[in-house]
């Protein structure tokens, strides 16, 4: 694993002189944030040695290095999902790569279904904690001691200091920021109404098919994390209407500008 990460790192360092300390993962339909990046250098995943490839619709599959809010950043435009058939360890390869490249802060975004009945479509929820409902964990197997300990703490996986910055930034730009717990499932099917009722009882506010593996791995290797869910739909059964992936991507595209502005503001203040 370490050898593969070193190979990817070596390639990237020949392509850009930027050494960003902030990494951003863009979720479904949130691609457009990448358009706001200045002096952008695009590196397709397929050209990076050892980089696992994404197939999800709405996901471009490239790293974008550049500047946002006056800071150097690197953005993952497109992420890997368990439902694509990727192994958990491949899904988190980019997280460890970012860490090796010098990233200290990871901002994760995703599209999610609103479980909390107070949430509306288009709302932005800051993730204050998560429930890993996937039934597995990317850290299973031999521990990579060079990244972190065998049993790593998750109490502050979502960094309180960054949440304070995000609340202030949302106030500044006049965005109502919801807060809550993200429950990560494997997908690819959407949930049943009974599952959503169960997840609500467990304490979840939003549900999605990504993020938890990435945040577990980021916490393991000592990255500070800030997470946002864009609520693209009310979760299954809340309204009597079937869910569709196209609708999720469409709402993501429409509402991503607001989240993009918020992230730009936050990056300037980290
Ligand atoms: N469930 C799971 N993942 C999702 C949803 C949902 O309702 N909306 C967007 N991603």
Ligand 1 close to Cβ of residue 228 (< 6 A)? no
Predicted TM-score of the model (pTM) = 0.95
Could you tell me which residue, 188 or 257, shows the higher pLDDT? 188
Distance (Å) from CA 180 to ligand 1 centroid: 15
Q: Is 82 in the pocket of ligand 1 (CB under 6 A)?
A: no
Ligand 1 contact via 124 beta carbon (within 6 Å)? no
pLDDT, residue 202, reads 98
φ and ψ of 238, to 5 deg: -70, -40
Q: What is the pLDDT of residue 11?
A: 97
Share of the chain above pLDDT 70, in %: 97
Q: CB under 8 Å to 241, separation ≥6 — which residues?
A: none
Residue 94 is predicted with a pLDDT of: 97
Domains of the chain (ranges; CATH) run: 2-269 (3.40.50.1580)
Ligand 1 site, residue 195, Cβ cutoff 6 A: no
Name which residue sits closest to atom 5 of ligand 1, judged by CA. 113
- pLDDT average, residue stretch 23-46: 88
With a 6 A CB cut-off, is 209 part of the ligand 1 pocket? yes
Q: Name the residue of 205, 235, 237, 253 whose CB sits within 8 Å of the most ligand 1 atoms, as the mutation to test its pocket.
A: 235
CA 71 / ligand 1 centre spacing (Å): 31
Percentage, residues of the chain above pLDDT 90:
80
- Ligand 1 contacts CB of residue 232 (under 6 A): yes
Dist CA 73 CA 75 (whole Å): 6
- Confirm or reject: Cβ of 190 under 6 Å from ligand 1: yes
Indicate whether 59 pLDDT > 60. Answer: no
> pLDDT per residue over 79-132, tens digit each?
999 999 999 999 999 999 999 999 999 999 999 999 999 999 999 999 999 999
């Amino acid at each position: 694993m370490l050898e593969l990460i070193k190979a990817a790192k070596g390639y990237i360092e020949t392509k850009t002189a930027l050494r960003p300390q902030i990494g951003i993962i863009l979720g479904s339909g949130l691609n457009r944030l990448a358009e706001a990046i200045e002096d952008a250098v695009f590196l397709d995943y397929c050209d990076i040695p050892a980089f696992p490839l994404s197939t999800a619709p709405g996901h471009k599959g490239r790293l974008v290095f550049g500047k946002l809010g006056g800071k150097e950043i690197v953005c993952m435009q497109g992420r890997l999902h368990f439902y694509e058939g990727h192994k958990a360890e491949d899904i988190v390869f980019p997280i460890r790569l970012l860490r090796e490249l010098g990233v200290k802060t990871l901002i994760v975004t995703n599209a999610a279904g609103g479980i909390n009945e107070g949430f509306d479509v288009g709302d932005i929820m800051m993730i204050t904690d998560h429930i890993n409902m996937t039934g597995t964990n990317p850290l299973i197997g031999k521990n990579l001691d060079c990244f972190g300990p065998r049993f790593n703490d998750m109490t502050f996986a979502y960094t309180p200091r960054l949440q304070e910055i995000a609340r202030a930034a949302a106030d500044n730009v006049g965005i109502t920021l919801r807060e809550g717990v993200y429950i990560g499932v494997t997908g690819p099917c959407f949930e049943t109404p009974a599952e959503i009722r169960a997840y609500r009882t467990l304490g979840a506010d939003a549900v999605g098919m990504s993020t938890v593996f990435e945040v577990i791995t980021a916490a393991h290797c000592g990255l500070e994390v800030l997470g946002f869910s864009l609520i693209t739909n009310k979760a299954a059964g809340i309204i009597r209407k079937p869910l569709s992936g196209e609708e999720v991507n469409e709402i993501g595209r429409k509402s991503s500008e607001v989240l993009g502005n918020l992230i730009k503001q936050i990056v300037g203040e980290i």
